[in-house]
């Protein structure tokens, strides 16, 4: 994930995210459990190297080690390894009844288990499964006896989860968002039956990016705040479809691109999109002249490279056209959602694709050195047959 310049990163503590820090912070300081409070149960939590280790206590109800800080909209990443016999989870946006340690912990939980339900969302003491039964299909993404990488994005009423790079849950749950819009992060050690255990669950690399300062650029209904002559069509699911009209081909129809009405300088741009087989588009930013974005702006490539083999160029998925190829091919298959995060601070540009940083470059040291430092954000209409959906378009402006 993002490794921003040292001046923009916080120390490895649970210190709140600074207003102008767009990056990740470590929730665990690697030394002790400062910033965390145990709620419910008698399971034990200890620090062991770079890990937090939770151990069951026979006869105890569910136990939770909870962050003292509360979070609403955020991106969370962690690695976890759990004994096969133990079920566990990570609470998000959770509460404690009476706001006291002994009060029953309640709220959304991202499941940790070996039975095929890992990554789905459960309402702990809050209504049971939030991921619907017909969606909760067993999978084998969680590897028994190994470290597993989780990725969680909660923004508004939308919760997305991934395990080891595989999308698991794409959940919209308005009721639980209304009851739990904000809360702590909690590491669960599940209760066990008499005569069983002890079992352990281990967490490391707990990192969080606060999304509370992000603003949605697309309202899910219409093109307010945007400028285009292209055929951009709001969809019932809140996404936005570009569907070039008959005869609209080629990529140089710049007025058909979707352009922000506002200019942005230093920012973090977060967007998801799904392309058809061979789909081609692009994310434009710092475009000084919307009539000449190729020479007066910067483009991060959107391209179906899911079957690409061999070396990558700047024209492959996630590459910055004219300067930086992606370090890895992180393309998802056609019709699945990809997520790109573009961080542009001064001349420092980073691109994340599907949870992995693939570009980290200094714009003033290459072909982009003369590009504007402020400009419009846009999405490319590449012409037929590139029907591409966009959603969750949000931005955070950063002041240095």
Where exactly are the structural domains of the chain? Answer: 6-210, 215-397
Residue 17 has pLDDT above 50, yes or no: no
pLDDT at 400 (0 to 100) = 64
Residue 234 has pLDDT above 50, yes or no: yes
Give me the mean pLDDT over the 225-244 stretch.
97
Neighbour-count burial of 139, counting CB atoms closer than 10 A to its CB (0-12 exposed, 13-18 middle, 19+ buried):
middle
Distances, alpha carbon 397 to alpha carbons 20, 269, 289, 391, in Å: 8, 9, 20, 19
Q: Give pLDDT tens digits for 265-308.
A: 999 999 999 999 999 999 999 999 999 999 999 999 999 999 99
Within 13 Å, how many C-alpha atoms sit on residue 206's CB side? 23
Which region among 4-18, 33-47, 136-150, 179-193 has the lowest average model confidence (pLDDT)?
A: 4-18
Give dist(CA 319, CA 296) in Å, integer.
17
Give dist(CA 384, CA 301) in Å, integer.
17
Longest dimension (CA), the chain: 72
Same topology for domains 6-210 and 215-397, yes or no? yes
Phi, then psi, of 398 in degrees rounded to 5: -125, 130
Q: Which parts of the chain fold into alpha helices (H)?
A: 174-179
> What does the DSSP assignment read for 96-154?
EGGGSTTSPEEEEEEEE-SSS-TT-EEEETTTEESS-TTT------SPTTS-EEEEEEE
pLDDT at 18 (0 to 100) = 37
Residues 6+ apart with CB under 8 A from 171: 121, 130, 131, 158, 159, 160
* Residue 254 near residue 293 (C-beta atoms within 8 A): yes
Distances, alpha carbon 96 to alpha carbons 44, 64, 101, 124, 194, in Å: 19, 10, 7, 11, 26
pLDDT at 14 (0 to 100) = 34
Residue 3 has pLDDT above 70, yes or no: no
Distances, alpha carbon 327 to alpha carbons 160, 315, 316, 334, in Å: 25, 12, 10, 21
Mean pLDDT taken over the chain: 92
Give me the mean pLDDT over the 130-155 stretch.
96
pLDDT at 339 (0 to 100) = 96
Which region among 123-127, 191-195, 259-263 has the lowest average model confidence (pLDDT)?
A: 191-195
Q: Give pLDDT tens digits for 344-389.
A: 999 999 999 998 999 999 999 989 999 999 999 999 999 999 999 9
pLDDT at 221 (0 to 100) = 95
The residue among 280, 303, 261 whose CA lies nearest residue 395 is 261
What pTM did the predictor assign? 0.85
Residues 6+ apart with CB under 8 A from 52: 28, 33, 45, 46, 65, 187, 202, 203, 204, 206
pLDDT at 6 (0 to 100) = 36
Give me the mean pLDDT over the 241-245 stretch.
98
Q: Give pLDDT tens digits for 206-218.
A: 999 999 989 999 9
The percentage of residues in the chain with a pLDDT greater than 70, rounded to a whole number, is 94
Give dist(CA 166, CA 16) in Å, integer.
29
Residue 25 has pLDDT above 50, yes or no: yes
Give me the mean pLDDT over the 1-29 stretch.
53
Residue 252 has pLDDT above 50, yes or no: yes
Give me the mean pLDDT over the 252-267 stretch.
97
Distances, alpha carbon 82 to alpha carbons 107, 146, 215, in Å: 21, 8, 36
Domain 6-210 coded CATH 2.40.50.140: no
The percentage of residues in the chain with a pLDDT greater than 90, rounded to a whole number, is 88
- Residue 324 DSSP class: B
Give the CATH architecture of domain 215-397.
Sandwich (2.60)
Residue 240, both tokens: 């936005």
* Residue 192 near residue 58 (C-beta atoms within 8 A): yes
Cross-strand bridge partners of residue 123: 108, 128
Which region among 60-69, 79-88, 190-199, 292-301 has the lowest average model confidence (pLDDT)?
A: 190-199
Which region among 3-17, 157-171, 241-255, 297-311 has the lowest average model confidence (pLDDT)?
A: 3-17
pLDDT at 77 (0 to 100) = 96
Cis peptide before 91 (omega within 30 of 0): no
pLDDT at 21 (0 to 100) = 63
CB neighbours of residue 229 within 10 Å: 11
Identify the residue whose tokens are 């955020």.
Answer: 74
pLDDT at 7 (0 to 100) = 36
Element (H, E) at 77: strand 74-82
Residue 146 has pLDDT above 50, yes or no: yes
Give me the mean pLDDT over the 120-133 stretch.
96
pLDDT at 5 (0 to 100) = 38
pLDDT at 88 (0 to 100) = 95
């Amino acid at each position: 994930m993002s490794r921003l310049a040292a001046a923009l990163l916080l120390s490895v503590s649970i210190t709140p995210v600074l207003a102008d820090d767009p990056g990740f912070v470590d929730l665990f300081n690697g030394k002790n459990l400062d910033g965390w409070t145990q709620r419910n149960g008698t399971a034990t939590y200890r620090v062991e190297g770079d890990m937090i280790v939770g151990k069951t206590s026979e006869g105890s109800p569910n136990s939770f080690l909870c962050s003292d800080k509360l979070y609403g909209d955020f991106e969370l990443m962690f690695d976890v390894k759990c004994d096969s016999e133990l079920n566990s989870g990570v609470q998000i946006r959770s509460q404690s009844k009476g706001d006291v340690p002994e009060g029953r912990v309640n709220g959304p939980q991202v499941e940790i288990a070996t039975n095929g339900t890992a990554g789905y969302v459960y309402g702990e003491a809050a209504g049971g499964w939030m991921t619907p039964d017909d969606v909760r299909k067993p999978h084998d993404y969680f590897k028994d006896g190994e470290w597993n990488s989780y990725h969680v994005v909660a923004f508004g009423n939308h919760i997305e989860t991934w395990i080891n790079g595989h999308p698991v849950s794409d959940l919209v749950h308005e009721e639980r968002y209304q009851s739990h819009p904000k809360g702590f992060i909690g590491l669960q050690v599940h209760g066990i039956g008499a005569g069983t255990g002890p079992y352990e669950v281990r967490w490391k690399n707990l990192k969080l990016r606060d999304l509370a300062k992000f603003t949605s650029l697309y309202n899910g209904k219409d093109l307010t705040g945007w400028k285009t002559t292209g055929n951009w069509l709001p969809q019932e699911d809140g996404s936005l479809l570009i569907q070039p009209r008959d005869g609209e081909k080629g990529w140089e129809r710049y007025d058909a691109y979707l352009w922000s009405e506002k200019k942005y300088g230093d920012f973090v741009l977060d967007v998801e999109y799904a392309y058809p087989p061979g789909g081609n588009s692009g994310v434009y930013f710092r475009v000084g002249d919307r009539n000449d974005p190729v020479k007066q702006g910067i483009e991060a490539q959107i391209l179906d490279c899911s079957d690409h083999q061999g070396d990558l160029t700047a024209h492959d998925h996630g590459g910055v056209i004219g300067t930086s190829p992606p370090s890895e091919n992180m393309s998802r298959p056609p019709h699945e959602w990809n997520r790109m995060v573009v961080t542009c601070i001064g001349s420092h540009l980073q691109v994340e694709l599907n949870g992995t940083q693939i570009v980290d470059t200094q714009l003033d040291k290459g072909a982009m050195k003369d590009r504007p430092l402020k400009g419009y954000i846009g999405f490319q209409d590449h012409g037929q047959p590139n029907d591409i959906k966009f959603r969750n378009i949000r931005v955070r402006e950063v002041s240095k």
